[in-house]
Every structure is written in structure tokens, then in C-alpha cells.
Structure 1
Amino acid sequence: MTENEISKEVVDLCFYLHQKYGPGLFESVYQQLLAYELRKKNYHVQEQAEIDIEHEGMVVPNAFKADLIINHKIIIELKSVKALEDVHYKQLYTYLKLTDLRLGLLINFNVKLIKDGIHRVVYRI
């Protein structure tokens, strides 16, 4: 599956979960629910994937944790905040760069309409 096909499925599941539970839960709850739903559809899902980075031969273990990595192709960064900030987009962009992945979804569940909380971040078009 392509990144776009996977992201469409993720977005559809976010709509489903937001409609069912609404805003206001912890990020970890949305993460578990989304991971569960994706696994039901036979996606490979890594939760809180610990990512090492290398700098001039030195490895920094567990430099960051990606909320979800789907099929080794897409990073999902989940939030449940009043408003997304520029740093959230930059954080996801850095995660994509360090993992050499192309597409990330920044999803804030703490919104009235989930369509307003879903944002694509692309690294290296």
C-alpha cells in the first residue's frame, strides 16, 4: 500500500473514533484505540516506537518516540491539546527526516470537528 492509501484509512478511522468518543480524552487513549483499529485491518503498527539517532558515529539511543508508525511508511503524531503550535509541525518534520519516511499525520483529537485536527506533513516530496 502507498502512503496515501494508508493515510486515507487512518483519517477514516480518526473520523470514526472522534464521532464515537469525541474530544477530551488523553492522547494515549486515542493512540491505543487507533492502533487497535488499524491492527484489526492487518496493518503493522508500532506504538511508542523508540528511535535512535546517529551523530558522527555516536548513537543516541531512544532519541525520541514516535506515537505510531504504520507499515514502516507513515508516522502518526497524536495530540489532544487546545491548539496545535508550530513546534508540533516541526517536531513531526524532524521525526520524518530522522527516520527517512516521507509522510506524517499530525492529529489533534481535541477539536469540535476532527477534519480541523488532521494535518499532513511531508518530507522530501
Structure 2
Amino acid sequence: MHVERICRLNDQLTEHVIGAAIEVHRLLESIYEEALCVELQLRGIAFERQVSIDVLYKGHIIKGQRLDLLVEGQVVVELKSQAKSPETAIAQVLSYLKATGMRRGLLINFGLPRLRDGLKRISL
């Protein structure tokens, strides 16, 4: 029961992030990340931007990876703005989830005409 409650809270959190993304979808590509951060702030949702993480690969630490956003310390958010979602983006989010120990991620591609077509929830 406790696990269900956590899942519902996480789903509500991702719904709030998606709502904020929908609000900024109409903007120019170069300002999506900034505008999404403003929208999250206005909604009272805590986030960190461009968070550095280390990825472990075959016993070696690879530095220099950055999360676009980490929301409420729970949701990894990767932002794109491309006419077609790159296939590597899902693998990228999965890699970030494994590296951080987080369980939930969002891939948001602002480059598609309808934002809902560019939204992917990813979980471990």
C-alpha cells in the first residue's frame, strides 16, 4: 500500500511537470528549458537545472554527464527540440536513471507539433 501511494505521488508529480511543459510548448526552441524552469517555479515545484552526474561503465566512472532537470529530487527530465525524437534519447534517460538511482524519468520533445506526441514516461 505504501508503494502504491508513492507511485501515485510520482504520477502526480510527472503530471505537474507535463502541465508545465504544455504551457511552454508554444515558445522558441532556444528558450524551452528556461521557460520550463520558470513555469515549474511558478507552480511551486522544486527542481535543479543542469545537474552533473557520474555514469559507471564497466567499473569506470565517466564524468561530464548532465541532467537537464531533476525535479523534486525524484524525476529525471531530459529535454529535446527535434522534429523526430531520437531513438538514443530513451537510452539516455534510462542511463541517467540507473546512474542516479532514480526510478522515474520524462523525455519531453518540444520539436513536435503536438507536445503529447513528444512525451515519454520512463521508469525502472
TM-score by length of 2: 0.83
Indicate which of 41, 45, 48 corresponds to 1:39: 41
Residue correspondence of structure 1 range 63-82 to structure 2 within 5 A: 64-82=65-83
Query: Larger RCO: Structure 1 or Structure 2 (Cα < 8 Å, ≥ 6 residues apart)?
Result: 1
Is 1:6 the equivalent of 2:7? no
1:44 deviation in Å?
1.8
What is the CA RMSD across the aligned residues, in angstroms?
2.0
Correspondence for 1:51: 53
1:84 deviation in Å?
1.1
User: How many residues are matched?
Assistant: 117
Task: Show structure 1 runs of 5+ residues with no match.
Answer: none
Correspondence for 1:122: 123
Task: Show structure 2 runs of 5+ residues with no match.
Answer: 1-5
| Identity within the alignment, % | 26
Letter of the 1:120 partner, please give it.
Answer: R
1:61 deviation in Å?
3.8
Correspondence for 2:91: 90
1:59 deviation in Å?
5.0
Structure 1 segments, 4+ long, off by >6 Å, are: 55-58
Give CA-to-partner distance per residue, 1:21-60, whole Å, 9 cap, x none: 2xx513xx11111111111222221111011245788654
Letter of the 2:17 partner, please give it.
Answer: V
Q: Secondary structure at the match of 2:122?
A: strand
Letter of the 2:112 partner, please give it.
Answer: V
